[in-house]
Amino acid sequence: MNKVQVVEAQGTVEPWKGFKDFTVKKKVIESEEIFTLYLEPTDGGKVVLPKAGQFIGIKVKSEDEEMKKVIRMYSLSMKPNEDYYRVSIKLVEGGKMTNYLLNNINEGDILEVTPPKGLFTLNKEKVDKPLILLGGGIGVTPVLSMLYDVVGTRDNVHFVYSLRNMKVECFLKEIKDYREKGLINANIFFTRPLENEVEGKDFDRKGRITKEWIAENLPLDGEFYFCGNKGFTELVQNSLLELGVEKDNIHFEFF
């Protein structure tokens, strides 16, 4: 969903126009289908401070004329900062950009990157209300950034991560660690656990999030932010509306 192109300065650095060269400082294989790229400006400067939830556009410097034209959006998956960007990418079968990045881009290579954009951002002023973040599959990336932005600074943060199984996880351990430290309430749904994955250990609940589960487990007077595919966001949105959550407290993005 890339309807609005909003680029504004939030920190000390003004947004650049169009694309800017970024060096891949680190490439991490998170799981069978997800990898992460850490990107820093090739000129050594600072980056535009993103708001949690925003995304960047990426294109590659390829000798292939067709590939050079491909632009894809990726949500920033790290705590907002002025030093680097981090994107976590799910490999798409037959997908142009994801396969190119996985197979051709390595540490030290240069990508072209837009400043952060997007209106799916966390309103940090409403601190008194419970904050509920829900991520479906790779849609966890923008809500992870929101989590990093607030974790430890306020009470009543709920994080719900719904994913197929460990083959498509990213940063699940960090979420569990926050829960163990008592910093957040977290619930992990595996929709299709692998044979060796154990309920109550690897994940909390098998299957999909339902309206009934939301009603019983999440504070309906809170502020909801969620991201996932169309099916996931529709299910959560419809459930919340049917449960009487005010529209103003429902924020989502799908891709």
Ligand X SMILES: Cc1cc2nc3c(=O)[nH]c(=O)nc-3n(C[C@H](O)[C@H](O)[C@H](O)COP(=O)(O)OP(=O)(O)OC[C@H]3O[C@@H](n4cnc5c(N)ncnc54)[C@H](O)[C@@H]3O)c2cc1C
The whole-angstrom separation of Cα 8 and Cα 50 is 9
Does residue 191 interact with ligand X by CB under 6 A?
Answer: no
The whole-angstrom separation of Cα 250 and Cα 19 is 32
Determine how many CB atoms are found less than 10 A away from the CB of residue 135.
Answer: 26
Could you say which of 24, 97, 105, 172 contacts ligand X (CB under 6 A)? 97
Compute the least distance from the CB of residue 71 to ligand X, in Å: 9
Is residue 96 within 8 A of residue 102, CB to CB? The reply is: no
Using the contact rule CB under 6 A, the part of the chain among 9-17, 93-101, 163-171, 206-214 near ligand X is: 93-101
The whole-angstrom separation of Cα 79 and Cα 51 is 9
Q: Which is nearer to ligand X, 140 or 245 (CB)?
A: 140
Compute the least distance from the CB of residue 200 to ligand X, in Å: 29
Does residue 105 interact with ligand X by CB under 6 A?
Answer: no
Does residue 75 interact with ligand X by CB under 6 A?
Answer: yes
Which three-class secondary structure state does DSSP give residue 215? helix
One-letter amino acid at 136 equals: G
Is residue 145 within 8 A of residue 75, CB to CB? The reply is: yes
The whole-angstrom separation of Cα 52 and Cα 77 is 8
Using the contact rule CB under 6 A, the part of the chain among 44-52, 85-93, 126-134, 238-246 near ligand X is: 85-93
Using the contact rule CB under 6 A, the part of the chain among 17-25, 82-90, 150-158, 237-245 near ligand X is: 82-90
Compute the least distance from the CB of residue 126 to ligand X, in Å: 23
The phi, psi pair for 149, rounded to 5°, reads -65, -30
Cβ contacts of 222 within 8 Å, gap of 6 or more = 129, 130, 131, 132, 156, 158, 249
Compute the least distance from the CB of residue 39 to ligand X, in Å: 13
Q: Which is nearer to ligand X, 116 or 130 (CB)?
A: 116
Using the contact rule CB under 6 A, the part of the chain among 15-23, 45-53, 92-100, 193-201 near ligand X is: 92-100
Using the contact rule CB under 6 A, the part of the chain among 72-80, 148-156, 158-166, 232-240 near ligand X is: 72-80
Q: Which is nearer to ligand X, 86 or 205 (CB)?
A: 86
The whole-angstrom separation of Cα 158 and Cα 21 is 36
Helical H segments across 13-158, by residue range: 65-69, 96-104, 140-150
Please state whether 18 falls in left (phi above 0), alpha (psi between -120 and 50) or beta.
Answer: left
Residue number closest to ligand X, CB atom: 95
> What is the contact mask toward ligand X in residues 122 to 161, using x (rule: CB under 6 A)?
----------------x--x--------------------
Q: What is the DSSP letter of 49?
A: P
Interface residues with ligand X (CB under 6 A) are 1-2, 55, 72-75, 87-90, 92-98, 138, 141, 255
